Amino acid sequence: MQIAGIKSQPLVWILLVAVLLAIVLSFLSPFFMTVGNMTNLSKQVSIVAILAAGQAVVIISGGIDLSVGSILALSAVVIGALIQVDVDPFFATLAGLATGTLAGFVNGFVITRGNIPPFIATLGMLGIARGLALVITKGVSYQVLVPFFLYIGNAKFLGLPIPLYFVVVTFLVVSVMLHMTVFGRHVYAIGGDERVARLEGIPVDRQKVKIYMLSGFLAALAAVVMTGRLAATPPSVAQGIELQAIAAVIIGGVSFVGGRGIVLTALIGALIMAMITNGLNILGISSFYQQVLIGFVIIVAVWLDNLKSRK
């Protein structure tokens, strides 16, 4: 009945699934619940989780962003190239973040001005950004061995790996934006009924540009974490990761139709996917099966969601 009640319901469901999965895995393997494995898991999940936060906002607004993997690569390459010529890591990071945000802006601009569906516009950007990453580097991977990035990739703060803090801050900020601000309210309105939003005076086009900029920015933030983890910026990095981010959002129960769902479930969706991968790894099951299983989970998640909304 209460708004909180309705909104937290999907969160409760998906949390339950995640906890169940964790319990099953910890019974199956004594290694699952070890500190080492949890650290590993949190590192594995961090990149997809950050991307999923942006993707969730895009999907709730009724759009889709297929370009996040490529934008991640392009931003990483910009960082790598600048580090290569001894630019201060702080400024290199800023340049990387600006690159991702700009790519997101281009997405939003093309979608709103060109009246091109998000699927097509971001599919185009998927090619363009990846191509640019390859052009800039001529296909070579730059090494990034400066302390700043090594710290992000390897250090711990209060016993927890640094990428985890990136995830927590991302979800905190994006959740607050989506659920407590005018920006977020307009995301839901546009996802609910774009025509109505327009009639009621919401600057729909400007809002959409902002949404894709946010997604681009978060892709670049994921690039910063990725650069730290790999200590390098291969231009082919994160290929196909957009599908994982989308899967995380969907498994989290965000409706593909738009207008419904909360951001936090995307984090749990990402966690579930990472647990499946991680669990199969420590159980020694061939990674070939992982994709099959994740494919199943996506379909089952949406199917369960349908069942829920039908009753």
Partner 1 sequence: MPDPTPLVEMRHISKHFGGLQALTDAQLELYPGEVLGVLGHNGAGKSTLIKILAGAETASEGVIFVEGHEVHINDPNDARVYGIETIYQELALCGNLNAPANLYMGRELHKWGFLRKNAMKAEATKALSRLNIRIQSLDVEVESMSGGQRQAVSISRAVHFDTKILIMDEPTAALGMEESKMVMELTVELKKQGIGIIWISHDIHEVFNFTDRITILHGGKNVVTAPTKEFTQDEIVSMIISGIPVERGTSAAGG
Which of 156/185 has CB closer to partner 1? 185
Which of 36/201 has CB closer to partner 1? 201
Which of 77/266 has CB closer to partner 1? 266
Cβ 60 vs Cβ 261: under 8 Å: yes
Which of 124/192 has CB closer to partner 1? 192
Residues in the chain, how many?
Answer: 311
User: In the bound complex, what is the minimum distance in angstroms from residue 191's beta carbon to partner 1?
Assistant: 7
Map tokens 């093309």 to a residue: 110
User: In the bound complex, what is the minimum distance in angstroms from residue 262's beta carbon to partner 1?
Assistant: 13
Which of 48/189 has CB closer to partner 1? 189
Which of 73/262 has CB closer to partner 1? 262
Map tokens 């020694």 to a residue: 284
User: In the bound complex, what is the minimum distance in angstroms from residue 193's beta carbon to partner 1?
Assistant: 5
User: In the bound complex, what is the minimum distance in angstroms from residue 184's beta carbon to partner 1?
Assistant: 8
User: In the bound complex, what is the minimum distance in angstroms from residue 199's beta carbon to partner 1?
Assistant: 5
Distance of CA 257 to the CA centre of its chain: 18
Distance of CA 114 to the CA centre of its chain: 26
Q: Give just the sign of the alpha carbon dihedral 299, 68, 224, 238.
A: positive
Name the β-bridge partners of 161.
156
State how far the Cα of 40 lies from the Cα of 82, in Å rounded to an integer. Answer: 29
Contact residues: partner 1, CB under 8 A = 1-3, 6, 180-185, 188-189, 191-193, 195-202, 259-260
Which of 68/187 has CB closer to partner 1? 187
State how far the Cα of 248 lies from the Cα of 51, in Å rounded to an integer. Answer: 9
Q: Classify residue 157 by its DSSP letter.
A: E
State how far the Cα of 30 lies from the Cα of 32, in Å rounded to an integer. Answer: 6
Phi-psi region of 303 (alpha: psi -120 to 50; beta: other; left: phi over 0): alpha
State how far the Cα of 72 lies from the Cα of 85, in Å rounded to an integer. Answer: 20
Which of 92/189 has CB closer to partner 1? 189
State how far the Cα of 25 lies from the Cα of 176, in Å rounded to an integer. Answer: 32
User: In the bound complex, what is the minimum distance in angstroms from residue 180's beta carbon to partner 1?
Assistant: 6
Q: Which amino acid belongs to residue 131?
A: G
User: In the bound complex, what is the minimum distance in angstroms from residue 57's beta carbon to partner 1?
Assistant: 15
User: In the bound complex, what is the minimum distance in angstroms from residue 189's beta carbon to partner 1?
Assistant: 5
DSSP secondary structure, 70-104, as one string: HHHHHHHHHHHHHHHTT--HHHHHHHHHHHHHHHH
